[in-house]
Chains A and B, each alone.
Chain A
């Protein structure tokens, strides 16, 4: 069977979003854990350890989002248009969060002033927690479907988007990212921050596990297929493995496990969605599908060439950047 180009691009966009969740997922977790891990007498030094652990890479990680959204725009214009106009206020909230957070990383240390730093710390925590929750809320709603009319316009109000399933979705990404960030910090720092990060990971693991279990079961019940069941089992298995590895202090393997858990969860979402890209709650005939929302084959062909040539290059130099900054960050490093 020859897979058609729109399906290839659906998978490509799923890969880009998954890359984003795995990479910026730990950035968000790190941001949310900032006040938890950087406390006590050496709070300021420890907060700087926390931030500098993601310092060199967070901006590059965020480009996965820009690329995922750009690819949606180019490959599935109607999907892009309906999603971002339909989720207007949640997306606005994410943008405000990302603006504050990005500036905060750069500006926080630029003045030696406790009040200045406290404000930017608040921006980092808010700016990490909000997208961590809202992306889960948005994608759960995408899987569940929205009030999409015959013209491809989303009529759901904000209240409709805050349904129980979507709230569980938001809690799931929030908890998963906290766990993923804690494990990342345990892997990338040393001293008190590393110890506290391990403790935070142990606390976060059961919460993330419970939320993930609820979300995946609910998804399986309402939108499941054998493929989503297999992926969900993989996600839960990886999370359990991650929790066990954290308990044994095997940080590298634990990080790989939480990354797999996130990737598999993201895969569940996209597999549950396929072949729709935005289902309609009003009438299945109004569903936006891979076929109906896709750009023409010529455009998808060009995008395929560009993606096939350059995405491996991006992965290569981003991996190199992680290699360059492979050493654990300590208080000595930031003083």
Chain B
């Protein structure tokens, strides 16, 4: 173990953890804004109650996303100072834009939304949640443009005197094909998670609808269940289409990632999509790996990667030879078993989640609600499945880029902070892991408590025959 390994573990742990909250923030901000818009349009109390109920859950999650995001911005400088010095001129620009254009918008307007219920005209208050939602969705674009640049660096040159990269074309960085495609994929996947969050909460409340505190409550949750299912199904279609595009970009710009994700050792035409494989790849013996067992669906991989069933897909052994000739001796293969299984788990769990959305729409058509209790439990389980799919997608993306931080330009081993000791990284890794672990328990318990307490807790039901109260109190701390 050296500082590099621990710095990589810390980046992995803190980033994965951060991304448990990000998709919910991106998607739920829009869902809550849409619910409030429905209330604004119809004036029906159930939409207001749903807005405030899901709004509370959104805020519990939002806080975690904000605080874990701060770490990310400092971490590049703390653990990856060589990387930061090399890329700052290019990579820093989208990060600074993210803060100035997106984070200010998100944070200022979320404050106005939380505390502004009784201070702002209703139309203006509605605009504040939309502004916050736009901020969240905009921030994803800038950070993904920065991330895409690491995988497919464009619009830059390297100064031979300083050895640092410098920006030559900001347009190229912001319209990087990898950035646009990744944005669609990540944001639609976030909406799948948010849709399934609404589905899971609604399904839970409908599963226990015999205990509903008010006769109107199951009706409200049937509506939100449908809204969540529709969100999941539409977003799921975009995830699938953009994922297909991502595979083609991966074949073009990151062939090693694709080869590793598919455990294709030797370049082949008419390549099949592997369902199960056991590889034989001795560490240190690069360029001579093979599969002992491999179960394939013929032609599918070639079709996914190139659009033609006979298209050629490059193999790990051939790519390794090519990169060694291009960049000098070294191991240019990422962790193949991790990529292979992450790819399958991303697709499998993601499809399962989206499948629940589509099936759920069919089962709840024309006002129906399934009677079988297990169906509700499956709907609840779809949420962790979709979250896990998101995480495996990021594992594939980031570990598939190895051994590079910036493909073809800077190796991960050369990116770490030279002045930071093993003890320092070990300290921060331990501190973040423990702190994040504790906060995860606190956050999930709080969410469950608020789900159990239900919408009547955040907006009490009026007594029989009495009207809903005219004034709406702010959410105060």
Contacts and interface: CB of A to CB of B under 8 A. Distances in A.
Contacts of B446: 107, 110-111
Interface centre among B59, B104, B168, B417 (most CB of A within 10 A): B104
Contacts of A77: 84-89, 92, 164
B449 interface: yes
A102 interface: yes
Tell me what chain A mostly uses at the interface: helix, strand, loop, or mixed.
Answer: helix
Interface residues of A, number: 71
27 contacts: A56-B112, A60-B104, A60-B111, A66-B103, A67-B99, A70-B92, A70-B100, A74-B96, A84-B74, A84-B81, A85-B77, A99-B68, A102-B70, A103-B64, A105-B63, A105-B477, A106-B59, A151-B418, A154-B419, A155-B419, A295-B89, A299-B90, A299-B167, A299-B170, A302-B93, A302-B167, A311-B100
Contact of A59 (B77, B110, B159): B110
Q: Which 3 A-B pairs have the closest CB atoms?
A: A77-B88, A84-B77, A74-B92
B450 interface: yes
Interface string A110-151: 110000000000000000000000000000000000000001
A299 B93 contact: yes
A126 to B, nearest CB: 13
B445 to A, nearest CB: 9
Interface centre among B68, B77, B85, B446 (most CB of A within 10 A): B77
A109 B87 CA distance: 42
Contacts of B167: 295-296, 298-299, 302
B63 A103 contact: yes
Contacts of B79: 85
B76 A73 contact: yes
A191 interface: no
Nearest to B69: A66
A48 B477 contact: yes
Interface string A295-335: 11011001100110011001001100100110000000110
A67 B104 contact: yes
B424 interface: yes
B282 interface: no
Contacts of A303: 93, 96
A106 B477 CA distance: 6
A83 interface: yes
A253 to B, nearest CB: 25
Contacts of A334: 476
Given A55-B477, A110-B60, A298-B166, A81 B84 contact: yes
Interface string A43-87: 000001001100111111011011101110111111011111110
Interface stretch (A90-98, A199-207, A212-220, A257-265): A90-98
Nearest to B164: A77
B170 A302 contact: yes
B67 A103 contact: yes
Nearest to A92: B428
Interface centre among A74, A86, A96 (most CB of B within 10 A): A74
A86 B170 CA distance: 30
A92 B81 contact: no
A299 B166 contact: yes
Interface in B421-442: 424, 427-428, 431, 435, 439, 442
Interface in B226-260: none
B450 A81 contact: no
A58 B164 CA distance: 37
B477 A324 contact: no
Contacts of B442: 103, 107
A302 B173 CA distance: 13
Interface centre among B59, B428, B476, B477 (most CB of A within 10 A): B477
B115 A56 contact: yes
